[in-house]
């Protein structure tokens, strides 16, 4: 693709499909389920830049270009999908990238960090105390002194422009699924995606967030993002705290079996950290009668596919 075409696609991405999931349980209980295929929102078949990270970076990349910045600087843990996405986007859109990584470099490295480095990201490891300063202005000034002028994206990418991108996603899927009542499910890490999507949904729709971290603090985080939204939020939103499987990146054999079976049945790959848990949760809620008859349920595939390789590297090729 020509460089100008790549930027044009970023400005006006094609709508991603809604794939129906004809699980018999849906027919039995009179509800319909779709997956919103943001996993297909890729450029050049790259597994790093897709899903909600695509939506969250979209307007940030445009703003960085507009401002004439040549370096993107961001923060993340060693397995962060966000770091991988910024690295991949830097390569695609011709930015230098700097990743401030929490903790020591893993002895054998890992797939995510090797991938980020291969995309050209300059990785800098900092101890946890330093990492905690990631939102401090003084720290950002120190980093700028070192790396020059740069466009800073917060950990997980959840800033105002990221929420804009996710709002567009909410509007897009609501337009594709005009029937009501409408429920929209998404996995939550920082809560930015859920907040953004909720701002794009029509009145009466309900956005459901599935936190992948334990602790129940996500409601506050999402409320904080929504309070900053430029327009009042008409849809409802709610957290479903029962499907984190023990915490971030925790899993059990049933979850792995489910992910592999889902791929066999529907040819949709789910990742074990975010989308696998969320879709498991949605199907479990359907089975328990959470959704009234006639409900239309859209589960957002937020991507995370690059995480599968790292997971398999750590735990031994569990995911097919």
Q: Which residues, 6 or more positions from 294, have their beta carbon under 8 angstroms from its beta carbon?
A: 30, 31, 181
Helices (H) and strands (E) in the chain, counts: 13, 10
CA separation for the pair 313, 316 (Å, rounded):
6
200 contacts ligand PLP (rule: CB under 6 A): no
Applying CB under 6 A, among 58, 74, 190, 199 the residue interacting with ligand PLP is: 190
CB of 287 to ligand PLP, least distance (A): 23
Q: Which residues, 6 or more positions from 281, have their beta carbon under 8 angstroms from its beta carbon?
A: 185, 210, 240, 242, 243
First to last CA, the chain: 31
95 contacts ligand PLP (rule: CB under 6 A): no
Residues of 287-313 as b/e, b for ≥16 C-beta within 10 angstroms?
A: eeebbeeebbbbbbbbbbbbbbbbbee
192 contacts ligand PLP (rule: CB under 6 A): yes
Applying CB under 6 A, among 251, 303, 308, 310 the residue interacting with ligand PLP is: 303
CB of 111 to ligand PLP, least distance (A): 15
112 contacts ligand PLP (rule: CB under 6 A): no
CB of 40 to ligand PLP, least distance (A): 13
Ranges within 140-159 binding ligand PLP (CB under 6 A)? 156, 158
116 contacts ligand PLP (rule: CB under 6 A): no
81 contacts ligand PLP (rule: CB under 6 A): yes
CB of 37 to ligand PLP, least distance (A): 13
CB of 30 to ligand PLP, least distance (A): 29
Pairing type for strands 32-36 and 18-20 reads antiparallel
187 contacts ligand PLP (rule: CB under 6 A): yes
Q: Which is nearer to ligand PLP, 77 or 181 (CB)?
A: 77
Which stretch, 125-133, 182-190, 258-266, 283-291, contacts ligand PLP (CB under 6 A)? Answer: 182-190
Q: Which x/- pattern, by CB under 6 A, does the window 256-275 give for ligand PLP?
A: ---------------x--xx
Residue least distant from ligand PLP (Cβ): 304
Q: Which residues, 6 or more positions from 22, have their beta carbon under 8 angstroms from its beta carbon?
A: none
- Among 318, 208, 204, which Cα is nearest to 256's? 318
Task: Give the CA distances from residue 190 to residues 195, 220, 230, 260, in Å, rounded to whole numbers and listed in that order.
Answer: 10, 10, 19, 27
- Among 91, 102, 98, 94, which Cα is nearest to 73's? 98
Residues of 122-149 as b/e, b for ≥16 C-beta within 10 angstroms?
A: bbebbeeeebeebeeeebeeebeeeeee
CA separation for the pair 222, 176 (Å, rounded):
25
Ranges within 50-79 binding ligand PLP (CB under 6 A)? 51-53
Instruction: Give the number of other Cβ atoms within 10 Å of residue 241's Cβ.
Output: 18
Q: Which x/- pattern, by CB under 6 A, does the window 1-30 give for ligand PLP?
A: ------------------------------
188 contacts ligand PLP (rule: CB under 6 A): yes
Instruction: Give the number of other Cβ atoms within 10 Å of residue 225's Cβ.
Output: 23
281 contacts ligand PLP (rule: CB under 6 A): no
Q: Which is nearer to ligand PLP, 285 or 305 (CB)?
A: 305
Which stretch, 45-53, 115-123, 136-144, 169-177, contacts ligand PLP (CB under 6 A)? Answer: 45-53
> Which positions lie near ligand PLP, rule CB under 6 A?
51-53, 81-82, 156, 158, 187-193, 271, 274-275, 302-304
């Amino acid at each position: 693709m020509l460089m100008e075409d790549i930027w044009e696609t970023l400005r006006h991405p094609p709508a991603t499909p809604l794939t129906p999931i004809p699980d018999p349980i849906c027919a039995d209980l009179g509800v319909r389920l779709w997956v919103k295929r943001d996993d297909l929102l890729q450029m050049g078949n790259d597994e790093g830049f897709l899903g909600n990270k695509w939506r969250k970076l979209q307007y940030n990349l445009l703003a960085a270009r507009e401002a004439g910045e040549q370096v993107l600087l961001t923060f993340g843990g060693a397995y962060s999908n966000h770091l991988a996405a910024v690295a991949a986007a830097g390569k695609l859109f011709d930015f230098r990238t700097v990743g401030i990584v929490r903790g020591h470099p893993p002895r054998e490295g890992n797939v995510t960090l090797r991938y980020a480095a291969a995309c050209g990201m300059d990785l800098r490891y900092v101890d946890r105390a330093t990492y905690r300063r990631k939102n401090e202005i003084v720290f950002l000034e120190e980093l700028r002194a070192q790396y020059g002028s740069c466009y800073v994206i917060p950990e997980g990418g959840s800033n105002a422009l990221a929420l804009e991108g996710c709002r567009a996603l909410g509007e897009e899927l609501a337009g594709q699924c005009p029937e009501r009542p409408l429920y929209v499910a998404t996995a939550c890490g920082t809560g930015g995606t859920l907040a953004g999507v909720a701002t794009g949904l029509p009145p009466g729709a309900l956005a459901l967030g599935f936190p992948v971290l334990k602790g129940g603090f996500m409601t506050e985080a999402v409320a904080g993002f929504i309070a900053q939204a430029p327009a009042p939020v008409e849809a409802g939103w709610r957290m479903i705290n029962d499907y984190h499987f023990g915490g971030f990146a925790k899993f059990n054999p049933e979850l792995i079996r489910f992910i592999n079976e889902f791929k066999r049945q529907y040819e949709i790959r789910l990742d074990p950290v975010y989308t696998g848990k969320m879709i498991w949760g949605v199907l479990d809620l359907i089975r328990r009668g959470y959704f009234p008859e006639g409900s239309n349920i859209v589960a957002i595939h937020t991507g995370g596919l690059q995480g599968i390789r790292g997971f398999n590297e750590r735990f031994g090729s569990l995911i097919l």
